[in-house]
Amino acid sequence: MRIILMGLIVLPFAMSAQTKLPDETALDKFLRYVKVDTQSQEDSQDYPSTAKQLNLANMLVQELKDLGLQDARVDKYGYVMATLPANLPKNHEAFGKVPQIGFISHMDTSPDVSGTNVKAQVIKKYDGKDIVLPGDPSIVIRTSENPELAKNIGKTIVTSDGTTLLGADDKAGIAAIMSAVQTLVRNPKFLHGEIKIGFTPDEEVGRGTDYFDIKAFGADFAYTVDGGTTGELNKETFSANAATITVHGRDIHPGTAKGIMVNSIRVMADIIARLPKNIAPETTEGYEPYIHPEKIDGATVKSSVKFLLRDFETEGLKNLEQMLRGIISEVEKLHPKARIELEIKESYRNMRYDVEKEPRLLTAMWEATRRAGVEPFWKPIRGGTDGSRLTEKGLLTPNLFTGGENYHSRTEWVSVYGMEKSAETIVNLVQVWVELAGGK
């Protein structure tokens, strides 16, 4: 039987007279944030898609103000923004030369799994075995499926109780950013330029940057803190399109249907059956593209399926689209009385095309991770981030790790070591930018 223990790690910071908050660890912060239900909703016409996201937004604004960031605010769309002023002395060689650097995480959790009443389980000195979650023993975090667990033996990890997701995506990122802000505020020896903080709603439903005001944010460059495995750095994402196939059939009473009925569900089944099995999320990895039937809605008279088209090369999306068109053409010959429509919408594009144009952006994050005592490595994101769209809009925004794993599921977990190293990397990163601006 596994014993779940609560463990807190105390950082060696003294209470600052200029702030109102007591010292907290990244874990302290994370455990508070996951208690706030911020699940977003795909079919909502509101922005943010759920009002409860504002509960965390308002909490973060107050915490930022208590840390001394007096311009902290939340706008009508639910975006939290704040500024930590530069602390460089006027005689410093980098004074006036350091770019304004932003750090961004999203507040919402996946609409696919409940985020209500999260019961976090803090496991100290993890023993390396499978973890049976106490709220639902059928939910097991298996070592065979989680190689990162082996790297956390003897360390502290956090899971949910198995009845909900945990919320590490992306409250681990928020905790890392807020811990870094706390460290910088209370340790003025860490020299830095002006730092911009941003927390966004609705990333999980693909709308996280719809109303993000880049000019108001004020950063020259930014980093999303929304990654996974400790040390993982991301400078490239999928390029993505959404495809919707709609089949129009004809309904009539089944008793008199011969020669008249056109069952759109059968037509759609023939389309899905012809999808290449080797170009699916469950059969691909690394840089391999996929076509993913994500959502289906159907009745005899009309059926529709939403597909995700993903490829790291934007040109490759055309190949995936042509595959769908070829399948439709083939199925139309089998069902000449059915009408089949295909709609393609652009989702986001690989940020690599732009972020690699600014080498300092990537050099700084690599060096900052290395200084945190973590071996950095580049890994392509088989998905997208707020950074994908922000980069496309002109704010170059690669992605930093948080230590989280198994996102969007009840087996989600986070390495406290990884979360702490993420915060340390942020602190290092702003100092590296000072060095780069000073010519080092």
Task: Say how many residues make up the chain.
Answer: 440
Q: Which of 161, 203, 420, 424 is catalytic?
A: 203
Q: Per residue in 38-59, is it b (16+ CB within 10 Å) or e — as a string?
A: bbbbeeeeeebbbebbbebbeb
Q: Which of 24, 37, 108, 412 is catalytic?
A: 108
Q: What does the DSSP assignment read for 5-27?
A: -------S-PPPTT--SPP--HH
Q: Classify strands 339-348 and 239-248 as parallel, antiparallel or unpaired.
A: antiparallel
CA 408 to chain centroid, in Å, comes to: 10
CA distances from 425 to 183, 323, 400, 429 (A): 12, 43, 9, 6
Would you state the structure tokens that stand for residue 292, as one six-digit string? 């993913």
The verdict on whether omega for the bond into residue 170 sits within 30 degrees of 0, i.e. cis, is: yes
Q: CA–CA separation, 72 vs 55, rounded Å?
A: 15
CA 370 to chain centroid, in Å, comes to: 23
Q: Please indicate whether residue 386 is annotated as part of the active site.
A: no
Contact 199, 222 (CB under 8 A): no
Q: Please indicate whether residue 108 is annotated as part of the active site.
A: yes
Residues in CB range of 91: below 8 A, 6 or more apart? none
Question: Residue 257: helix, strand or coil by DSSP?
Answer: coil
Question: Residue 114: helix, strand or coil by DSSP?
Answer: coil
For residue 224, report the phi and psi dihedrals to the nearest 5 degrees. Answer: -80, 140
CA 124 to chain centroid, in Å, comes to: 26
Residues in CB range of 69: below 8 A, 6 or more apart? 82, 83, 84, 181, 197
Max CA distance (Å), the chain: 89
| DSSP conformational letter for 255 | G
Would you state the structure tokens that stand for residue 197, as one six-digit string? 């903080």
CA distances from 69 to 194, 200, 216, 373 (A): 12, 18, 16, 29
Q: Is residue 96 left, alpha or beta, with left meaning phi > 0 and alpha meaning psi from -120 to 50?
A: left
Active-site residue list: 108, 203
